[in-house]
A and B are shown apart, each in its own frame.
Chain A
């Protein structure tokens, strides 16, 4: 029992991850606003679709703005909550916009005491016939945004495009984190083998690399499924996808290499050296090259990391336990592989 505690811990953490990662609701969001295009100088009604919203609750306290930057905003003159998911906003759009171009995108902001503040970035575009930036700036500061509410419940952030898939942060991302923890372990055993050629070090490195590859393949498959529904394609030939596929191929070569040696000592020594090279290549392939070029993947070049904006404190409470949970499950699987390899060695020796 004493030696099993970490397996229990891993399973408990994963149960926690599944229960709270799936049951915690998302914050209120705005999914659509129509019409998309408005004309300056006219009064227009915009129909807005909410997500996880309760517009009819305290509907007289609903407020809405069109905004650009942090200074310029226009409050809706009339707000009609049709139902919990639909609200109609009337805007008296002034004749001039706070910009020197003919068309400008605006962010829609809705605030309610029940749902908190929610936005649709770049949700509406307004056209103007004559440009007068100074007049526009004056007109768009008349109804500033004030005292926004915060939803008082344990929720995950709502992001357009992502929607509920933000929960994949606890299933796709920890695959890679757990893979890394486990591959570091494998490299440590490979180095140990080169210092002191004990066959058990080689078996441990092999078992951990095996699990690391499993987690990597699962990470790639789950990433492709997520990509299909957010980027549009399973495989976009994105840098991050390509480089991880190459890294996993290098790690598959580890097992091809092992299978091609008869002499156990030679096999162990050469695969230990190869493992160190494989690990040295996976770091730049997965974490450095994608940061140097443009990528669709968060945390890579031209795209901010999840951590800086999207991973709030509520998500951290599930994300970090998820990493530990998946890593412990991986170690457990690795331990079973190791024990199988030890038994095989026994049989071959007998």
Chain B
């Protein structure tokens, strides 16, 4: 249980890492070029990544339930 949680957390942070690095190190000149279009790109990317992380969590929950059903049989 604890190991699964730790695993989930590390996956989360691993997934988030490149994204946060990308945003943090992106110099503002790039983000503000092309009329700040890349800000819109970053916002849509953030929503997409958020939903994917949520989906991974849900997937793990369902896997756990499937395991429980298997153990019952």
Which A residues have a C-beta under 8 Å from some C-beta of B? 18, 22, 26, 51, 162-165, 167-168, 171-172, 175, 214, 217-218, 221-222, 225-226, 228-230, 333, 336-337, 340, 343-344, 347, 350
Contact = CB atoms under 8 A, between A and B. Distances in A.
A217 B39 contact: no
Contact of A165 (B40, B50, B51): B40
B56 to A, nearest CB: 13
A164 B31 CA distance: 11
A164 B40 contact: yes
Contacts of A230: 36, 39
Interface of B: 23, 28, 31-32, 34-37, 39-40, 42-44, 46-47, 50-51, 54, 58, 61-62, 65, 68-69, 72
A226 B43 contact: yes
B58 A164 contact: no
A18 B58 CA distance: 26
Which label, helix, strand, loop or mixed, suits the secondary structure of the A interface? helix
Contacts of B42: 225
B46 A222 contact: yes
A350 B69 CA distance: 10
Contact of A163 (B23, B36, B44): B36
A347 B72 contact: yes
A26 B35 CA distance: 10
Contact of B58 (A165, A218, A222, A336): A336
B47 A229 contact: no
Given A175-B47, A337-B58, A168 B65 contact: no
Contacts of A343: 65
B39 A214 contact: no
A337 B62 CA distance: 10
Nearest to A161: B36
Contacts of B62: 340
Contact of A333 (B31, B32, B36, B54): B54
Contact of B32 (A167, A172, A221, A229): A229
A165 B39 contact: yes
Contact of A344 (B37, B40, B65): B65
Contact of A225 (B46, B51, B68): B46
A324 to B, nearest CB: 16
Of residues B31, B35, B50, which shows the largest number of chain A Cβ atoms within 10 Å of its Cβ? Answer: B35
B61 A168 contact: no
Nearest to B61: A340
A167 B40 CA distance: 7
Contacts of B51: 214, 218, 333
A163 B35 contact: yes
A164 B34 contact: yes
13 contacts: A164-B39, A167-B40, A168-B39, A172-B43, A175-B47, A214-B51, A218-B47, A222-B46, A229-B36, A340-B65, A343-B65, A347-B69, A350-B72
Given A225-B42, A347-B65, A171 B36 contact: no
A22 B43 CA distance: 12
Nearest to B68: A347
Contacts of A165: 36, 39-40
Contacts of A221: 46, 50
Contact of B35 (A51, A175, A225, A333): A51
B3 to A, nearest CB: 19
Nearest to A171: B43
Contacts of B34: 164
